[in-house]
């Protein structure tokens, strides 16, 4: 009887795995993402690890907003409120009730789902810009509510809550520092949340969500419960954003009302538009934009200030740019970036990639 050696068996198993991955590009891509995620914190600097962790958190929040706007057609400018709720639920449970961080994530998710569902009920009467204004009001009110005196003992009021001594260490004696372990936790949660998002979008419920977005009357005629699906979608969208807020509390180790101003809600909305409305993977591209483009705009603004000063040395009446003015110029440069992006890519980066794929297919045919 002929027997195979262990080495031969291992080589055969590796070969079979490679053939399977070669025949299934989605599985191959997922395996590559897992490998990259496992290696990344070991080779990256601490600052870059922190930035990419923040990128993953933004991607979760943008994906949640995309479920609501891109797939269900409901506009929201108030997701910073759910982001804040998720962050504060984790912070309060960790500081006041000494709950391990890992357990605060599902609690924050459930709380935000309930808040989103309840907010979605009265929002059923609102559509389009009126719903956007209602959510905008929610985003404006949330930081002020968090400063409210009767709940100051929980939220910390204006001072917020510090979590520096509560960041979890890597378990089982694993040789990771806190930033590396925070990345791994965030990476695992990101994989889970995007799996849920893809599963939801491609399910029967996802088709109902898209039917409501495309034509509410036709969706109602086919038997879809508009009220139920709209409120459930609002709840799921808030759940995603709350999970992002919970992870943000762990990463930054500090929460305060002024960290959740309307600018955060607008940044999440901009990230969704830039990445592509109705395209889940675009959340990562949108996260890249809102994380790095403001820094790039700041560098360009300071560079312009230096150019203005150089011109002024030659042309005395040319206006000078002070340090304060250079900071103000940052917003202008960022706005120019957005205008150019909308002009060049009106469908976001998703539309650009789709157009590139179509042209590549035409070139091959």
256-297 tens-digit pLDDT? 999 999 999 999 999 999 988 888 999 999 999 999 988 888
Q: Is residue 23 part of a domain?
A: no
Closest CA to 111 of 81, 135, 75: 81
The tokens for 23 are: 């025949």
Note whether 91 and 97 are within 8 A (CB).
no
Q: Kindly state whether residues 237 and 334 are assigned to the same domain.
A: no
Could you tell me which residues come within 8 angstroms of residue 260 by beta carbon, excluding any fewer than 6 positions away?
Answer: 80, 81, 83, 84, 87, 142, 143, 146
If pLDDT is split at 50, 70 and 90, which confidence band does 1 have? very low
pLDDT tens across 78-110, in order? Answer: 999 999 999 999 999 999 888 988 999 999 999
pLDDT digits (tens, 9 = 90+) for 230-265: 999 999 999 999 999 999 999 999 999 999 999 999
Shared domain check, 252 and 155:
yes
What's the pTM value of the predicted model, to 2 decimals? 0.89
Q: Above 60 in pLDDT, residue 14?
A: no
Asked whether residue 17 is domain-assigned, the answer is no
d(CA 308, CA 178): 43
Residue 268 lies in a domain: no
Tell me how crowded residue 14 is: count the other CB atoms within 10 A of its CB.
10
Same domain, 358 and 247: no
Are 111 and 243 in contact, with CB atoms under 8 Å apart? no
User: Does residue 180 sit in the same domain as residue 257?
Assistant: yes
Neighbours of 47 (CB within 10 A): 9
Domain that holds residue 106: 28-261
Residue 18 belongs to some domain of the structure: no
- Residue 124, domain member (yes or no): yes
Q: Give a yes or no: residue 276 inside a domain.
A: no
Return the residue matching tokens 């404006």: 140
* Together in a domain, 167 and 126: yes
Looking at the structure, tell me whether residues 354 and 318 fall in a common domain: yes
Q: Identify whether residues 122 and 185 lie together within a single domain.
A: yes
In a domain, 19, yes or no: no
Number of independent structural domains in the chain: 2
**What is the C-alpha to C-alpha distance for residues 334 and 341, in angstroms, rounded to an integer?**
11
């Amino acid at each position: 009887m002929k027997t195979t050696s262990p080495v031969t068996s291992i080589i055969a198993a590796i070969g079979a795995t490679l053939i399977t991955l070669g025949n299934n590009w989605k599985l191959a891509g997922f395996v590559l993402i897992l490998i990259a995620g496992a290696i990344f914190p070991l080779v990256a600097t601490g600052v870059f690890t922190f930035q990419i962790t923040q990128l993953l958190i933004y991607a979760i929040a943008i994906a949640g907003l995309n479920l609501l706007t891109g797939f269900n057609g409901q506009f929201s400018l108030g997701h910073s409120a759910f982001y804040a709720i998720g962050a504060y639920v984790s912070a309060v449970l960790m500081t006041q009730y000494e709950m391990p961080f890992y357990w605060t994530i599902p609690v924050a998710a459930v709380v935000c789902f309930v808040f989103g569902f309840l907010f979605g009920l009265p929002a059923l009467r609102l559509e389009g810009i009126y719903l956007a204004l209602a959510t905008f009001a929610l985003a404006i009110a949330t930081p002020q509510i968090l400063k409210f005196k009767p709940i100051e003992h929980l939220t910390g009021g204006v001072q917020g809550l510090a979590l520096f001594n509560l960041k979890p260490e890597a378990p089982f004696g694993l040789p990771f520092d806190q930033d590396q372990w925070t990345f791994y936790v965030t990476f695992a949660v990101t994989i889970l949340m995007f799996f849920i998002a893809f599963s939801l979008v491609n399910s029967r419920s996802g088709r109902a969500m898209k039917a409501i977005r495309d034509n509410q009357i036709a969706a109602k005629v086919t038997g879809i419960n508009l009220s139920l699906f709209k409120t459930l979608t609002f709840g799921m969208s808030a759940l995603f954003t709350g999970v992002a807020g919970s992870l943000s509390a762990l990463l930054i180790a500090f929460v305060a009302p002024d960290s959740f101003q309307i600018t955060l809600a607008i940044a999440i909305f901009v990230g969704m538009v830039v990445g592509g409305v109705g395209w889940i993977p675009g959340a990562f591209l949108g996260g890249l934009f809102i994380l790095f483009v403001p820094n790039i705009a700041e560098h360009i603004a300071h560079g312009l200030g230096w150019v203005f000063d150089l011109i002024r040395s030659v042309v005395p009446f040319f206006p000078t740019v002070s340090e304060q003015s250079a900071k103000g110029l940052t917003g202008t440069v960022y706005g120019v970036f957005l205008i150019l992006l909308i002009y060049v890519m009106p469908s976001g980066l998703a539309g650009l990639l789709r157009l590139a794929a179509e042209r590549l297919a035409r070139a091959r045919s």
